[in-house]
Amino acid sequence: MRGKSLSLLTTAHNYQEQDKDVLIMTSAIDDRYGVGKVSSRVGLNCEAQPIKPEDNVIELITKSLKLDTEGRTVWPHCILIDEAEFLTAQQVVDLANIVDTYNIPIICYGLRTDFQCNLFEGSKTLFEVADKLEEIKTVCQWCDHKATMNLRMVDGAPVYDGDQI
């Protein structure tokens, strides 16, 4: 699906335009544009805190928190996660706990399924625990209908089997 990272970057811009702090994170598994980088196909990009499968996201987030002038911890107004499909189930549960405990919106962007229509671990858990789900719609470049599947391409040719990632 196209437009996920662009939507994340737009959301970040909208918060930042109002002088609100945003923490941007992305899966370290997606290294197409470099680890810790959110990039859209239209050329916009930004740095992000990478999340490795072995990382404790609560620790990553708390390490990034700032202190105000009186020494109190300041949470961001929003946490944005790109490539959320690559998160582990525990990482997604931990993010949901942060939402519930600190009342901070966490908006995750990612794919539902892989090229064989199998749920990713992170996506499956998001479906189970997310408070709200929104679909970003796009059109299939092959049939001009609503895109509902992902197609893996290698050297310009479709591939129908192989590893999930």
- Model confidence band, residue 2 (pLDDT cutoffs 50, 70, 90): low
pLDDT of 7 above 60: yes
The DSSP secondary structure of 96-162, one letter per residue, reads: HHHHHHH---EEE---SB-TTSPBPHHHHHHHHH-S---PPP-B-TTTSSB--S--EEETTEEE--S
83 is catalytic: yes
d(CA 162, CA 72): 49
Cα dihedral sign, 78-54-152-85: negative
The per-residue pLDDT for range 25-73, each reduced to its tens digit, is 999 998 887 788 888 877 787 899 999 999 999 999 999 998 889 999 9
Q: Which helix (H) or strand (E) holds 49?
A: strand 49-51
Instruction: Give pLDDT, residue 163.
Output: 84
Q: pTM of the predicted model, to two decimals? A: 0.89
| Active-site annotation holder among 17, 70, 83, 134 | 83
Burial of residue 35 (CB within 10 Å: 0-12, 13-18, 19+) is: middle
Place of tokens 């992170």: 122
134 phi and psi angles, rounded to 5 deg: -130, 135
Q: Catalogue all structural domains in the chain, each as residue range(s) with its CATH number.
A: 4-136 (3.40.50.300)
